[in-house]
Homo-oligomer: A and B are copies of this chain.
Amino acid sequence: MLSITEENYLKAIYRLTIVNNNEVSTGTNEIAVYLGVKPATATDMLKKLKEKDYISYEKYGKSSLNQVGKSIAIEIIRKHRLWETFLHQVMEFSWDEVHEVAEQLEHIKSKKLIDSLDKFLNYPKYDPHGDVIPSADGEIAFRHTKTLNNELINHTCEIVGVKDNSSDFLKYIESLDLVLGKIININEIYSFDKSMNISINGINKNISEKLAENIVVSCKNC
């Protein structure tokens, strides 16, 4: 049985090897920064996880999950996202409040509970941030997405997620009505600063490039 700490390291390595597109491994310092510990601490844990055969790691090299480690990481992410969905849909938590509590709930050990929760929520595919929820057998459905700043003029797309999960950002975009599931149309892209004019529920507004970079969309006509 893995400790909560071990689980968190596996999850961190998973996130860092997925976020770094195409990268399949991650450096020790990066893991340490992600988890808020010192590099020395991460080194010790990496040695331990290698010993237990969850990861590949060589001194001064980069780390990557092996099969067992990867499936554990995916299981934890599945639990995290199901709990987030529960907190948002059933416990009336707002978009930006779910993460912190889900960080605790994801470590509860009970297969029966997580399967019941999945059923109770009617097998949701996406969590409140639009991220894909892995299935019970570890499958992660593919979805063609891009960030809003990469969309083209006159295209229509759906908001399916965000890059920045900070409470500040989530509250900000909520105030702009840029919430999950909204359909937006790109009216204009200003070459000067790459800001764009979009329609949302028939209302036009301008948004900055930086904002657009943090909104994940799924295009309807491309």
A-to-B contact residues, CB < 8 Å: 87, 90-93, 97, 100-101, 104-105, 108-110, 112-113, 116-117, 120
Contact = CB atoms under 8 A, between A and B. Distances in A.
A116 B101 contact: no
B105 A91 contact: no
B87 A113 contact: yes
Contacts of A92: 116
A116 B101 CA distance: 13
A128 to B, nearest CB: 15
Secondary structure class of chain A's binding surface, majority of residues: helix
Given A91-B113, A91-B120, A104-B109, 4 more contacts: A93-B112, A97-B112, A101-B112, A105-B108
Nearest to A92: B116
A108 B87 CA distance: 13
Contacts of A117: 91
21 contacts: A87-B113, A90-B120, A91-B112, A91-B113, A91-B116, A91-B117, A91-B120, A92-B116, A93-B112, A93-B113, A93-B116, A97-B112, A100-B110, A101-B108, A101-B110, A101-B112, A101-B113, A104-B108, A104-B109, A104-B110, A105-B108
A81 B109 CA distance: 18
A219 to B, nearest CB: 36
Contacts of A101: 108, 110, 112-113
Contacts of A97: 112
Nearest to A97: B112
